[in-house]
Structure 1
Amino acid sequence: MCSHYDPQTDPARLRTYFGVEDLPLGLKDSLWPGYHGPFVRKHEFADVGDEAVPFRELLVGSFGLIPHWSKDATIARRTYNARSETVHEKPSYRDAWRLARHCIIPAEAIYEPDWRSGKAVPTRITRADGKPMGIAGLWSVWKAPTSDVTHSFTMLTINADDHPFMRQYHKPDDEKRMVVILNEGDYDAWLAAPATASREFLRQFPADNMAGEQPQQSLL
């Protein structure tokens, strides 16, 4: 499960790889559950027929999905990852899944613990080709008791027991999991897909296009 990642916040890379602009300033460059970061969704008015409206839009939301019924935003500390096998039935995610509220989370890197040495060594995982990751997620919108509106998102995860790269991470006896990293050619299809087609996109990313880097001190 991914609870720590570096969001993609560089305007040039967001424009080049995700086709979006106008990212607010002041966002953190490393995120944990409850922090706010960027996500991409299908534009709210993409279907009105106005050519001036782009297909994708960039929003800022809480890392950790806040369902509409939540009493406060602290639930985000527990809803940052959604298991693809049960996402359709879990109360926190099932409405977003049913409504096909698909999003893409732009990430420069994710962090996972490598336990092969017998202890957890935090490892920074990136795409080997140098491109940012587009992680498949679900988004929601929550209205606080103060009437403030907050967007939020969660990353979808799949089993990685047989993945040549990601099976190296997490504790030896734990199930191996990985976030769903989309192929660039699937971005628009994912954002536009109905709920009945959602699972078609939940595939393992190629192991040969993933790279891990550990802190220098852990290698001594």
Structure 2
Amino acid sequence: MCGRFAITLPPEAMVRMFDAVPGNDVPQGARYNVCPTQMVAAVTSLEGVRHLRGLRWGFVPAWYETPTDGPLLINARAETIAEKPAFRAAVRARRCLIAADGFYEWNVGGNGARLPWFVTRADGRPMAMAGIWQDWERAGQRLTGCAIVTCAAGPDMAPIHHREPVLVDPADWPLWLGESGHGAARLMRGHPEAALRAWRVGVGVNSNRATGAELCAPLATGTPGA
């Protein structure tokens, strides 16, 4: 799954990267511990025009009476996304890209402790995580929520965790955003070997209240299972 990530790119840089129209609701400032229910910067496309906008991390199905009427849906599994009633309409028509420097994942050490890792692209470029989004409204309350699409872990992630977010390469952004026809399902796969790199980080990130650049700083040592 993907339950935390970091993003330090300013909105202006994301606008340039995605060639998007800026919105006025995009979160500002470097964020080293983005958590579910917080606002995230996402790119959507409407009639071929990309928009950088703020979305709430947490997909709310249309039938929820309140945003907390059921489980908090922060991830959507690629293998079942087209079949699940909560997601199947969104994956056909409301796909988005969520920018990140990298994401956190946990494995279990020899003493049973949960050990956090920070995962980035091996080439150092920002990530564009595949997402889906949906508007929800009840009794005057309105929000637009999103979920990150996940898939089986590729060879770089498998020693740490069995799932990873779907990462979309720049050449495939038009396809995922629905700008270049059909076939986005083929993008919902793990990355090949040597595409990602990961390092152990301190347990401070285990708290969803933690902030600061030190959260994703590497420890002196760290190998999966250590």
| TM-score bucket (shorter structure) | 0.7 to 0.9
Q: Which residue of 2 aligns with 1:50?
A: none
Tell me the C-alpha RMSD between the 2 structures. Answer: 2.6
Of the candidates 121, 144, 151, which is equivalent to residue 151 of structure 1? 144
Of the candidates 33, 37, 40, which is equivalent to residue 37 of structure 1? 40
Q: Partners in 1 of 2:29 and 2:138 — Cα distance?
A: 21
* Secondary structure of 1:124's aligned partner: strand
- What is the Cα deviation at residue 64 of structure 1? 1.5
Q: Partners in 2 of 1:35 and 1:158 — Cα distance?
A: 23
TM-score, normalisation: structure 1? 0.80
Higher mean Cα deviation, 117-126 or 24-33?
A: 24-33
Q: Is the 8 A contact 1:100 1:194 kept in 2?
A: no
Q: Partners in 1 of 2:195 and 2:44 — Cα distance?
A: 25
- What is the Cα deviation at residue 123 of structure 1? 0.6
Question: Are residue 206 (structure 1) and residue 192 (structure 2) matched?
Answer: yes
> Would you say how many aligned residue pairs link Structure 1 and Structure 2?
202
* Secondary structure of 1:167's aligned partner: coil
- What is the Cα deviation at residue 132 of structure 1? 0.8
Q: Partners in 1 of 2:67 and 2:95 — Cα distance?
A: 20
Q: Is the 8 A contact 1:64 1:80 kept in 2?
A: yes
Gaps of 5+ in 2: 202-218
- What is the Cα deviation at residue 127 of structure 1? 1.1
**Which deviations, in whole Å up to 9, do the C-alpha atoms of 1:62-95 show, x marking residues without a partner?**
1121122211223686311111111122232122
Distance 1:195 1:32, change over 3 A: farther
- What is the Cα deviation at residue 8 of structure 1? 5.1
Q: Partners in 2 of 1:155 and 1:195 — Cα distance?
A: 21
Of the candidates 174, 177, 182, which is equivalent to residue 163 of structure 2? 177
Q: Which residue of 2 aligns with 1:133?
A: 127
Distance 1:65 1:214, change over 3 A: same
Distance 1:25 1:138, change over 3 A: closer
Q: Which amino acid aligns with 2:177?
A: L
Q: Is the 8 A contact 2:134 2:144 kept in 1?
A: yes
- What is the Cα deviation at residue 196 of structure 1? 5.6
Distance 1:202 1:77, change over 3 A: same
> Residues 1-220 of structure 1 correspond to what in structure 2 (within 5 A)?
1-7=1-7, 9-20=9-20, 21-22=22-23, 24-26=26-28, 29=31, 30-43=33-46, 46=47, 55-74=49-68, 78-97=72-91, 99-115=92-108, 117=110, 119-145=113-139, 147-160=140-153, 163-170=154-161, 176-192=162-178, 197-215=183-201, 216=219, 219=222
* Secondary structure of 1:204's aligned partner: coil
Q: Which residue of 2 aligns with 1:51?
A: none
Q: Which amino acid aligns with 2:113?
A: K
What's the % identity of the aligned pairs? 27
TM-score, normalisation: structure 2? 0.78
Q: Partners in 1 of 2:146 and 2:131 — Cα distance?
A: 7
Q: Which has the higher helix share?
A: 1
Q: Is the 8 A contact 2:11 2:28 kept in 1?
A: no
- What is the Cα deviation at residue 209 of structure 1? 2.5
- What is the Cα deviation at residue 194 of structure 1? 8.5
Q: Is the 8 A contact 1:109 1:124 kept in 2?
A: yes
